[in-house]
Structure 1
Protein backbone atom coordinates (compact mmCIF):
# COMPACT_ATOMS: atom_id res chain seq x y z
CA UNK A 1 0.00 0.00 0.00
CA UNK A 2 1.54 3.32 -1.07
CA UNK A 3 1.94 5.92 1.63
CA UNK A 4 0.56 9.25 0.40
CA UNK A 5 1.08 11.03 3.71
CA UNK A 6 3.95 13.39 4.37
CA UNK A 7 7.28 12.10 5.66
CA UNK A 8 7.37 11.22 9.34
CA UNK A 9 9.60 14.14 10.35
CA UNK A 10 7.11 16.75 9.09
CA UNK A 11 3.86 15.19 10.39
CA UNK A 12 2.28 16.34 13.59
CA UNK A 13 1.29 13.88 16.35
CA UNK A 14 -2.37 14.41 15.37
CA UNK A 15 -1.60 13.46 11.75
CA UNK A 16 0.28 10.36 12.87
CA UNK A 17 -2.62 9.35 15.16
CA UNK A 18 -5.11 9.92 12.33
CA UNK A 19 -2.99 7.78 10.00
CA UNK A 20 -2.77 5.01 12.59
CA UNK A 21 -6.57 5.11 13.11
CA UNK A 22 -7.19 4.98 9.36
CA UNK A 23 -4.85 2.01 8.97
CA UNK A 24 -6.52 0.24 11.92
CA UNK A 25 -9.92 0.74 10.30
CA UNK A 26 -8.69 -0.64 6.97
CA UNK A 27 -7.08 -3.60 8.75
CA UNK A 28 -10.26 -4.29 10.75
CA UNK A 29 -12.33 -4.22 7.56
CA UNK A 30 -9.88 -6.59 5.85
CA UNK A 31 -9.94 -8.99 8.80
CA UNK A 32 -13.75 -8.93 8.87
CA UNK A 33 -13.83 -9.79 5.17
CA UNK A 34 -11.36 -12.64 5.65
CA UNK A 35 -13.44 -13.90 8.58
CA UNK A 36 -16.56 -14.01 6.42
CA UNK A 37 -14.75 -15.77 3.58
CA UNK A 38 -13.29 -18.53 5.78
CA UNK A 39 -16.42 -19.02 7.90
CA UNK A 40 -17.71 -22.61 7.54
CA UNK A 41 -21.20 -21.43 6.55
CA UNK A 42 -19.72 -19.32 3.75
CA UNK A 43 -17.58 -22.20 2.52
CA UNK A 44 -20.55 -24.60 2.60
CA UNK A 45 -22.79 -22.05 0.87
CA UNK A 46 -20.22 -21.49 -1.86
CA UNK A 47 -19.82 -25.25 -2.34
CA UNK A 48 -23.60 -25.74 -2.53
CA UNK A 49 -23.93 -22.93 -5.06
CA UNK A 50 -21.20 -24.48 -7.20
CA UNK A 51 -22.85 -27.92 -7.09
CA UNK A 52 -26.26 -26.46 -7.98
CA UNK A 53 -24.69 -24.54 -10.86
CA UNK A 54 -22.99 -27.69 -12.16
CA UNK A 55 -26.23 -29.68 -11.87
CA UNK A 56 -28.18 -26.96 -13.68
CA UNK A 57 -25.56 -26.90 -16.44
CA UNK A 58 -25.59 -30.71 -16.75
CA UNK A 59 -29.39 -30.87 -16.80
CA UNK A 60 -29.50 -28.14 -19.41
CA UNK A 61 -27.10 -30.03 -21.62
CA UNK A 62 -29.05 -33.26 -21.11
CA UNK A 63 -32.31 -31.50 -22.01
CA UNK A 64 -30.79 -30.13 -25.21
CA UNK A 65 -29.44 -33.57 -26.11
CA UNK A 66 -32.76 -35.32 -25.48
CA UNK A 67 -34.66 -32.63 -27.34
CA UNK A 68 -32.33 -33.02 -30.31
CA UNK A 69 -32.75 -36.83 -30.26
CA UNK A 70 -36.55 -36.55 -30.13
CA UNK A 71 -36.49 -34.06 -33.01
CA UNK A 72 -34.28 -36.41 -35.04
CA UNK A 73 -36.63 -39.36 -34.43
CA UNK A 74 -39.68 -37.23 -35.20
CA UNK A 75 -38.08 -36.12 -38.46
CA UNK A 76 -37.85 -39.79 -39.48
CA UNK A 77 -41.62 -40.29 -39.12
CA UNK A 78 -43.03 -36.86 -40.07
CA UNK A 79 -42.21 -34.78 -43.16
CA UNK A 80 -41.49 -31.05 -43.20
CA UNK A 81 -45.21 -30.26 -43.46
CA UNK A 82 -46.09 -32.35 -40.40
CA UNK A 83 -47.67 -35.16 -42.40
CA UNK A 84 -46.97 -38.69 -41.07
CA UNK A 85 -44.68 -40.82 -43.27
CA UNK A 86 -46.72 -44.00 -43.40
CA UNK A 87 -44.02 -45.81 -45.42
CA UNK A 88 -41.82 -45.55 -42.30
CA UNK A 89 -44.43 -45.80 -39.56
CA UNK A 90 -46.07 -49.06 -40.73
CA UNK A 91 -42.88 -51.20 -40.80
CA UNK A 92 -41.80 -49.93 -37.37
CA UNK A 93 -45.27 -50.60 -35.94
CA UNK A 94 -45.24 -54.15 -37.39
CA UNK A 95 -41.84 -54.84 -35.87
CA UNK A 96 -43.04 -53.51 -32.48
CA UNK A 97 -46.18 -55.68 -32.59
CA UNK A 98 -44.04 -58.69 -33.53
CA UNK A 99 -41.66 -58.10 -30.62
CA UNK A 100 -44.53 -57.74 -28.16
CA UNK A 101 -46.04 -60.96 -29.54
CA UNK A 102 -42.74 -62.80 -29.06
CA UNK A 103 -42.47 -61.53 -25.49
CA UNK A 104 -46.01 -62.68 -24.70
CA UNK A 105 -45.40 -66.14 -26.19
CA UNK A 106 -42.08 -66.42 -24.35
CA UNK A 107 -43.59 -65.48 -21.00
CA UNK A 108 -46.44 -68.02 -21.46
CA UNK A 109 -43.94 -70.80 -22.16
CA UNK A 110 -42.02 -70.02 -18.97
CA UNK A 111 -45.16 -70.23 -16.87
CA UNK A 112 -45.89 -73.80 -17.98
Structure 2
Protein backbone atom coordinates (compact mmCIF):
# COMPACT_ATOMS: atom_id res chain seq x y z
CA UNK A 1 0.00 0.00 0.00
CA UNK A 2 2.98 2.30 0.65
CA UNK A 3 3.57 4.22 -2.55
CA UNK A 4 -0.01 4.15 -3.87
CA UNK A 5 -1.35 5.58 -0.56
CA UNK A 6 1.33 8.23 -0.56
CA UNK A 7 0.58 9.18 -4.17
CA UNK A 8 -3.11 9.58 -3.33
CA UNK A 9 -2.35 11.94 -0.45
CA UNK A 10 0.16 13.86 -2.51
CA UNK A 11 -2.47 14.27 -5.22
CA UNK A 12 -4.63 16.37 -2.87
CA UNK A 13 -4.26 20.05 -3.41
CA UNK A 14 -3.99 22.71 -0.78
CA UNK A 15 -7.46 23.93 -1.77
CA UNK A 16 -8.91 20.45 -1.15
CA UNK A 17 -7.26 20.25 2.26
CA UNK A 18 -8.52 23.72 3.15
CA UNK A 19 -12.02 22.78 1.97
CA UNK A 20 -11.90 19.66 4.19
CA UNK A 21 -10.84 21.81 7.15
CA UNK A 22 -13.68 24.27 6.52
CA UNK A 23 -16.21 21.42 6.17
CA UNK A 24 -14.97 19.79 9.40
CA UNK A 25 -15.09 23.14 11.23
CA UNK A 26 -18.67 23.74 10.03
CA UNK A 27 -19.73 20.23 11.14
CA UNK A 28 -18.13 20.78 14.53
CA UNK A 29 -19.85 24.17 14.91
CA UNK A 30 -23.22 22.61 14.02
CA UNK A 31 -22.66 19.81 16.54
CA UNK A 32 -21.73 22.31 19.26
CA UNK A 33 -24.81 24.42 18.45
CA UNK A 34 -27.02 21.32 18.68
CA UNK A 35 -25.48 20.36 22.03
CA UNK A 36 -25.97 23.91 23.34
CA UNK A 37 -29.66 23.76 22.41
CA UNK A 38 -30.07 20.34 24.04
CA UNK A 39 -28.59 21.42 27.37
CA UNK A 40 -30.12 24.91 27.43
CA UNK A 41 -32.42 25.29 30.47
CA UNK A 42 -35.43 26.31 28.39
CA UNK A 43 -35.05 23.20 26.22
CA UNK A 44 -34.77 20.99 29.28
CA UNK A 45 -37.84 22.65 30.84
CA UNK A 46 -39.82 22.17 27.64
CA UNK A 47 -38.83 18.49 27.45
CA UNK A 48 -39.73 17.94 31.10
CA UNK A 49 -43.05 19.72 30.63
CA UNK A 50 -43.83 17.60 27.58
CA UNK A 51 -43.06 14.40 29.50
CA UNK A 52 -45.22 15.52 32.43
CA UNK A 53 -48.13 16.49 30.19
CA UNK A 54 -47.89 13.15 28.42
CA UNK A 55 -47.99 11.36 31.76
CA UNK A 56 -50.98 13.41 32.96
CA UNK A 57 -52.84 12.83 29.69
CA UNK A 58 -52.16 9.12 29.91
CA UNK A 59 -53.44 8.95 33.50
CA UNK A 60 -56.49 11.05 32.60
CA UNK A 61 -57.22 8.69 29.72
CA UNK A 62 -57.00 5.68 32.02
CA UNK A 63 -59.27 7.38 34.56
CA UNK A 64 -61.80 8.17 31.82
CA UNK A 65 -61.82 4.57 30.64
CA UNK A 66 -62.24 3.33 34.22
CA UNK A 67 -65.07 5.80 34.91
CA UNK A 68 -66.79 4.90 31.66
CA UNK A 69 -66.58 1.24 32.58
CA UNK A 70 -68.04 1.95 36.02
CA UNK A 71 -70.90 3.98 34.51
CA UNK A 72 -71.64 1.16 32.08
CA UNK A 73 -71.72 -1.36 34.95
CA UNK A 74 -74.15 0.78 36.92
CA UNK A 75 -76.26 1.38 33.84
CA UNK A 76 -76.36 -2.36 33.17
CA UNK A 77 -77.77 -2.88 36.69
CA UNK A 78 -80.72 -0.60 35.96
CA UNK A 79 -81.48 -1.44 32.31
CA UNK A 80 -82.19 -4.66 30.49
CA UNK A 81 -80.49 -5.98 27.35
CA UNK A 82 -82.64 -3.71 25.17
CA UNK A 83 -81.84 -0.60 27.21
CA UNK A 84 -85.27 -0.43 28.88
CA UNK A 85 -85.37 0.60 32.56
CA UNK A 86 -85.67 -2.22 35.12
CA UNK A 87 -88.45 -1.00 37.41
CA UNK A 88 -87.73 -3.73 39.96
CA UNK A 89 -84.27 -2.22 40.53
CA UNK A 90 -84.95 1.47 39.95
CA UNK A 91 -87.83 1.85 42.42
CA UNK A 92 -85.94 0.43 45.45
CA UNK A 93 -82.84 2.46 44.61
CA UNK A 94 -84.93 5.63 44.26
CA UNK A 95 -86.65 4.94 47.59
CA UNK A 96 -83.27 4.49 49.29
CA UNK A 97 -82.09 7.76 47.74
CA UNK A 98 -85.19 9.62 48.94
CA UNK A 99 -84.74 8.10 52.40
CA UNK A 100 -81.12 9.26 52.57
CA UNK A 101 -82.14 12.78 51.50
CA UNK A 102 -84.92 12.91 54.11
CA UNK A 103 -82.54 11.67 56.81
CA UNK A 104 -79.93 14.29 55.83
CA UNK A 105 -82.58 17.02 55.87
CA UNK A 106 -83.81 15.87 59.28
CA UNK A 107 -80.28 15.88 60.73
CA UNK A 108 -79.64 19.32 59.29
CA UNK A 109 -82.92 20.67 60.69
CA UNK A 110 -82.08 19.35 64.16
CA UNK A 111 -78.65 21.05 64.08
CA UNK A 112 -80.17 24.37 63.06
CA UNK A 113 -83.11 24.20 65.45
More helix by share: 2
Deviation at residue 79 of structure 1 after TM alignment: 0.9
1:110 alignment counterpart: 111
CA distance in 2, matches of 1:46, 1:59: 20
SS in 2 for 1:30: helix
CA distance in 1, matches of 2:19, 2:104: 89
Cα RMSD of the aligned pairs, angstroms, is 1.8
| Structure 1: stretches of 5+ with no match in the other structure | 1-5
CA distance in 2, matches of 1:72, 1:52: 30
TM-score, length basis structure 1: 0.84
SS in 1 for 2:80: coil
1:54 and 2:55 matched: yes
2:82 alignment counterpart: 81
2:23 alignment counterpart: 22
Deviations 1:6-32 (A, max 9, x none): 769534333322221111111011011
CA distance in 2, matches of 1:99, 1:107: 12
Deviation at residue 111 of structure 1 after TM alignment: 2.3
Q: Which runs of 4+ in 1 moved over 6 A?
A: none
1:99 alignment counterpart: 100
| Structure 2: stretches of 5+ with no match in the other structure | none
TM-score, length basis structure 2: 0.83
Deviation at residue 83 of structure 1 after TM alignment: 0.6
SS in 1 for 2:94: helix
Aligned residues between the structures? 107
